[in-house]
Structure 1
Amino acid sequence: MTPDSDHCTRRRLLRTGAVTVLGVAGTGVGAAQNETADSGDANPSGQADDGESPYTETYRNTIDSVVLVSVSGAGGGPGGGLGSGFVIDDQHIVTNNHVVQGASEGGIEIQFSNEEWRTASIVGTDVYSDLAVLSVEDMPDVADGLSLSESEPAIGQTVLAIGNPLGLDASVSHGIVSGTDRSLPSPTGFSIPAAIQTDAPINPGNSGGPLVGLEGDVLGVVFAGAGQTIGFAISALLANRVVPALIEDGTYEHAYMGVGVRPVGPEIAAEIGLDEPVGVLVVEVVPDGPADGVLEPSTRGRPTGGDVIVAIDGEAIPNQPALSSYLALETSPGDTIEIEIVRDGEPQTVELTLEARPDAERPPAPIPGGPGERPPSTEP
């Protein structure tokens, strides 16, 4: 995906206590939301007596750490545009890989809330998680590091998306966590696992900014490539694994099984003798991959002879997103895992040693064009 391409405008920060700072981004049809949460029958709007919304304090406590990322492409080619990012310490900024991909040398400029500019360099990128870490010398004092959450958010939890949607600087939209453990399209043919779904309005320009809880902790890194009527973020749980490796090594190695899988529906479950349609059917095993000789694929796309993965290391695997999330969040290359399978109607346990994911075999596909999955999808 090319970086978010919005015109760069100057920041319009709301700093006086009497003003509600809900600069809510519009949805894909241009509708704005200015909702507030209930805080009891005496004040159903959720607003304080001074007119501030319940989200004002969270905005104030985080906005100085949220930045605008302006990118110039090499030779005036692809790579120009802007997105968002957020400071995590006195040197580093997290954003999306697709925001800075294709940037020319010295072509990444960062604007802070006090309107100071800095030139940033790329420390590391990971196309599989769509995360990137930038380095800035002489970080402005106004920008404190935000913390990545170490726990999964609750469904229904209130969240704020802070960034620069459609070039509207320092904007905030709000919503709830609509779902977790989602799979997002990636430019590689592998999905991005463990993602967060939200109904907070998200648009191009939001990419790379934080999705925060009301306590100000970062629950995810906003991903604006999947559409404007439903929002997603790369989970902080995944970022907590990837970001430190990018800072230390510039790269991150993902665990890899080397299988293609598909869901087990009622018809497949009946054919292979499962009591319930649960787990994932192995329909492809990559030659010379970790699963070669360990797992058996179905015959010519039919369930006959194919292994059904139902658990890993005692953790139930009810579907494909659960498999992807477990591998991404709980394992590393070199780990040996115990896989509970059903083979020819009989439960068995096999061991498999994971490897590092190989380089993508095909050119990246644009993120907005669709999930870009290989049918069947190849798991990490």
Structure 2
Amino acid sequence: MKQSLTRRAMLGALGTAVAATAGCQSPGTGSDSGSDTGEQPESADAVAQSDSVYTNVYQEVADAVVSIRVYAEDSRGGQGSGFLIDDEHIVTNEHVVAGGDEYYVRFADTGWRTASVVGADVYSDLAVLRIGATPDVTPLSFVETEPTVGTEVVAIGNPFGLSGSVSAGIVSGVDRTLQSANNFSIADAVQTDAPVNPGNSGGPLVTLEGDVVGVINSGGGDNVAFAISAPLTQRVVPSLIQTGDYDHPYMGVGLRSVSPRVAEANNLDPGSGVYITRVVSDGPAAGVLQGSDGETTISGTAIPTGGDVVRQMDDTPTPTRQALGSFLALETSPGETVDVLVERDGAQETVELTLGTRPEP
């Protein structure tokens, strides 16, 4: 059963980032009772309260986190992290397993075990490994609701191959957009300031209750790292297990958020929404949405004009490209028809768009 991690327990934490291994002495505890200075020995309750919350969450989660080694015939390969989600499946990043021929995983208290890739998706940077038998380990669960900015989190994994490492921080932002293959993007990513380095990829970013906020995707400096969100992971992973791949919804347009210059050039008030720069000729939006058909120059910069501005999809406002991307990724599927409220030639109208499937990478 998961332990209840209270705010009082946090008083014992000695920093916002620690590295822990099983059996380490908890920060804030020690053998000196203070009797030489006349102080009374601490009670058992006081000692328990001084345990670090990071130690607690590490001990609760670490057994389900694995090291991953990947080998390829051309001598390339790599390493990363992953975590158990049921009695045989491990989630990691697609870029951790890409190009591999042999895969091995190691739990905290086991040797290396062979694994196989059952599915991978480059557009979400998620992959699933299967192992034949697991130790007596409790799989990790995902958060039920997306975290708020400021939520305390820890990253557990194997940076630089150093297994069993934990670093701590907060959720610095949500609904971020990450670069993916073929100029597509990964929507709804979680930003954190928890230190993340090579080897953390594919590991879990968890709350202090041990629930997974996201699958660590990238990091490496400036207190900025990212994770594939729990909601997107929960949409993609079941399909990877069942069919080996995942079909992403596709509009067939080029998009950019409305900047002040785009708003000025296109007489947009308010200056928000998602501007359509182009429409793929044989894509789902062809004949439905309009891309830019001209440009003007402002302060020496060419600004596109004439394209539709998407204000809302179904009942969801789309003030930014990130908001539109998250709606598509989390609320729609290929083949569905959505109502798109656009601003076109100074007026608003609603058009129906049937989504397609994103092309193969």
TM-score by length of 1: 0.80
Match of 1:71 in 2: 70
Match of 2:123 in 1: 128
Q: Report the number of matched residues.
A: 319
> CA 1:129–1:138 in 2, change beyond 3 Å: closer, same or farther?
same
Task: Give the one of 86, 91, 116 matched to 2:88.
Answer: 91
- Contact (CA 8 Å) 1:266, 1:276: kept in 2 or not? no
Match of 1:19 in 2: 26
Match of 1:335 in 2: 336
- Contact (CA 8 Å) 1:308, 1:343: kept in 2 or not? yes
> CA 1:328–1:226 in 2, change beyond 3 Å: closer, same or farther?
farther
Match of 2:196 in 1: 202
Q: Secondary structure at the match of 1:195?
A: strand
Q: Which AA in structure 2 matches 1:214?
A: L
In the alignment, structure 1 residue 257 sits paired with structure 2 residue 251: yes
Match of 1:49 in 2: 47
How far did 1:342 drift? 0.3
Deviations 1:227-249 (A, max 9, x none): 56411100011000000000000
Distance in 1 between the 2:222 and 2:200 partners?
11
Write out aligned runs for 1:1-380 (5 A). 13-15=21-23, 18-20=25-27, 49=47, 51-76=50-75, 78=76, 80-104=77-101, 107-141=102-136, 143-224=137-218, 229-301=223-295, 303-360=304-361
Distance in 2 between the 1:20 and 1:222 partners?
26
Deviations 1:277-308 (A, max 9, x none): 10011110001100000001111355442110
Q: Secondary structure at the match of 1:160?
A: strand
Q: Secondary structure at the match of 1:329?
A: helix
Match of 1:378 in 2: none
- Contact (CA 8 Å) 1:74, 1:102: kept in 2 or not? no
How far did 1:56 drift? 1.6
How high is the sequence identity, in percent, across the aligned residues?
53
Distance in 2 between the 1:124 and 1:149 partners?
23
How far did 1:323 drift? 1.1
Distance in 2 between the 1:227 and 1:289 partners?
39
- Contact (CA 8 Å) 2:258, 2:274: kept in 1 or not? yes
Distance in 2 between the 1:186 and 1:172 partners?
27
Query: Which of the two has greater strand per residue?
Result: 2
Distance in 2 between the 1:228 and 1:164 partners?
20
Distance in 1 between the 2:349 and 2:73 partners?
54
Distance in 2 between the 1:356 and 1:190 partners?
13
Deviates more, 1:235-244 or 1:297-306: 297-306
Deviations 1:6-35 (A, max 9, x none): xxxxx983225x4349xxxxxxxxxxxxxx
Q: Secondary structure at the match of 1:55?
A: helix
Q: Which AA in structure 1 matches 2:47?
A: D
Distance in 2 between the 1:13 and 1:111 partners?
15
Kindly report the root-mean-square deviation, in angstroms, between the aligned alpha carbons of the 2 structures: 2.0
Q: Higher relative contact order by CA 8 Å / sep ≥ 6: 1 or 2?
A: 1
How far did 1:226 drift? 6.7
Structure 1: 5+ residue stretches without partners: 1-10, 22-47, 361-380
Match of 1:377 in 2: none
Q: Which AA in structure 2 matches 1:19?
A: S
Query: Which of the two has greater helix per residue?
Result: 2
Q: Which AA in structure 2 matches 1:322?
A: A
- Contact (CA 8 Å) 1:92, 1:136: kept in 2 or not? yes
Deviations 1:184-240 (A, max 9, x none): 122332111100000000000000000000111101000125756411100011000
How far did 1:75 drift? 3.2
Q: Secondary structure at the match of 2:294?
A: coil
Distance in 2 between the 1:149 and 1:93 partners?
17
Q: Which AA in structure 2 matches 1:170?
A: G
Q: Which AA in structure 2 matches 1:14?
A: A
